[in-house]
Amino acid sequence: MSENDLLIEEILKLKKKSGALILAHYYQRLEIQKCADFVGDSFELAKRAKEAKSDLIVFCGVRFMGESAKILNPTKKVIMPRPDAGCQMADMVTVSKLREMKNTYPKAAVVCYVNSSAEIKAESDICCTSSNAVKVCESIDADEIIFVPDKNLGAYVAAKLPHKMFHLYYGYCPVHKNITLEDAMNAKKRFPDAKLFVHPECEAEVVEIADYVGSTSGIIREAENSDAKQFIIGTEYGVVERLTEYNPDKKFWLLSPKLVCINMKMTSLINLRDCLKDQFGEIDMPEELRMKAFSALDKMMRI
Ligand code: 13P
Ligand code: SF4
């Protein structure tokens, strides 16, 4: 048995003993995904956390995801093996910068991408994820929208809803923004028979030449259901690892080796084992803040 297999065995025993529900994002290392009760994109994970019956939720992802779980299901203990794993995009917007935008555009509704802190959610009218951003912005009763923090997702949504006016904050995911049109064209030249699937956090010129644009779950679903046999994947490496493992009849290439989120890769099997054993890394926040952030998240969940 390999060292990883032994750790996975130990983790599964600890999970059973503690009654914990382990949630993991698709960008987590494959061995972490294998320990989870549920693996999903940020929306699906928020939904699972909200519906969780277990008193203990172990969240393998980045901090805003653990925070969303606590906001949506506050009576549960939410712990993270790496609570120090942040999201660089979420850190780009501050409450004072958002308030400045609200003062400049007082009639606009505030839509915040779920990749944001609890404080930003508390200042927003409604949240969205990459899987429902268009739907959320379309559904709200406002013609003017402040969209934070991702300028690329915001621009993607704005292009789909030309009848609404968008004020975009200049935030971005350094992992996806790093991908250039040249990277995408080169990958298409190398693998001419492959379909190009990308995440909307990529730059507009990359999104424009893609065969499919969607959240991590959307990309996985679409690739698994497609008749095509080869795919260039323009999102984090964890998605390629998973698709390759579970679809041996298809070929998946990562658009660029730059597509690795160091924060998502922080969680190791040892971290997960220790977290289950000692139950450290609890996510909590003042109730007033939680209630305000809940309102924005809950409105999204109802759409
Ligand atoms: P998903 O909403 O597709 O899970 O994406 C989250 C994320 O962090 C993308 O970089
Ligand atoms: Fe944040 Fe980008 Fe990592 Fe997603 S991939 S968690 S947006 S830094």
Quote the tokens at residue 54.
């277990």
Q: Relative to the CA of 261, which ligand 1 atom is closest?
A: 10
Are the C-beta atoms of 110 and 103 separated by less than 8 Å?
no
Measured distance CA(224)–CA(62) in Å, rounded: 26
Please give the DSSP secondary-structure letter assigned to residue 239: H
Q: For residue range 202-259, what is the model confidence (pLDDT) as tens digits?
A: 999 999 999 999 999 999 999 999 999 999 999 999 999 999 999 999 999 999 999 9
Range of the domain at 146: 93-172
- pLDDT number for residue 158: 98
- pLDDT number for residue 109: 98
Nearest one of 179, 201, 199, 237 to 92, comparing CA atoms: 201
Residue 105 lies in a domain: yes
pTM of the predicted structure, to 2 decimals:
0.97
Could you tell me the distance, in angstroms and rounded to a whole number, from the CA of residue 217 to the centre of ligand 2?
15
Residue 259 lies in a domain: no
Nearest one of 50, 54, 53, 48 to 23, comparing CA atoms: 48
Question: Which CATH number does the domain housing residue 243 bear?
Answer: 3.40.50.10800
Ligand nearest to the CA of 61: 2
Q: For residue range 17-37, what is the model confidence (pLDDT) as tens digits?
A: 999 999 999 999 999 999 999
Residues 65 and 99 in one domain: no
- pLDDT number for residue 198: 98
Query: Which single residue is written with the structure tokens 């080796």?
Result: 257
Nearest one of 44, 53, 8, 50 to 24, comparing CA atoms: 44
- pLDDT number for residue 52: 98
Amino acid letter, 43: F
Measured distance CA(15)–CA(36) in Å, rounded: 9
Residues of the chain with pLDDT under 70: none
How is 32-97 classified by DSSP, letter by letter?
A: HHHH-SEEE-HHHHHHHHHH--SSEEEEES-HHHHHHHHHHSTTSEEE-S-TT---TTGGG--HHH
Ligand nearest to the CA of 44: 1
Domain count, the chain: 3
Could you tell me the distance, in angstroms and rounded to a whole number, from the CA of residue 137 to the centre of ligand 2?
22
Output the ligand 2 site: residues, CB below 6 A.
62, 87-89, 115, 173, 175, 201, 236, 261, 263-264
CA dist list (Å): 235 to 59, 269, 297: 21, 23, 24
Residue 143 neighbours by CB distance under 10 Å: 12
Alpha carbon nearest to ligand 2 atom 6, residue: 87
Alpha carbon nearest to ligand 1 atom 4, residue: 41
- pLDDT number for residue 133: 98
Residues 119 and 141 in one domain: yes
- pLDDT number for residue 190: 98
Among 172, 203, 232, which residue terminates a domain? 172
- pLDDT number for residue 137: 98
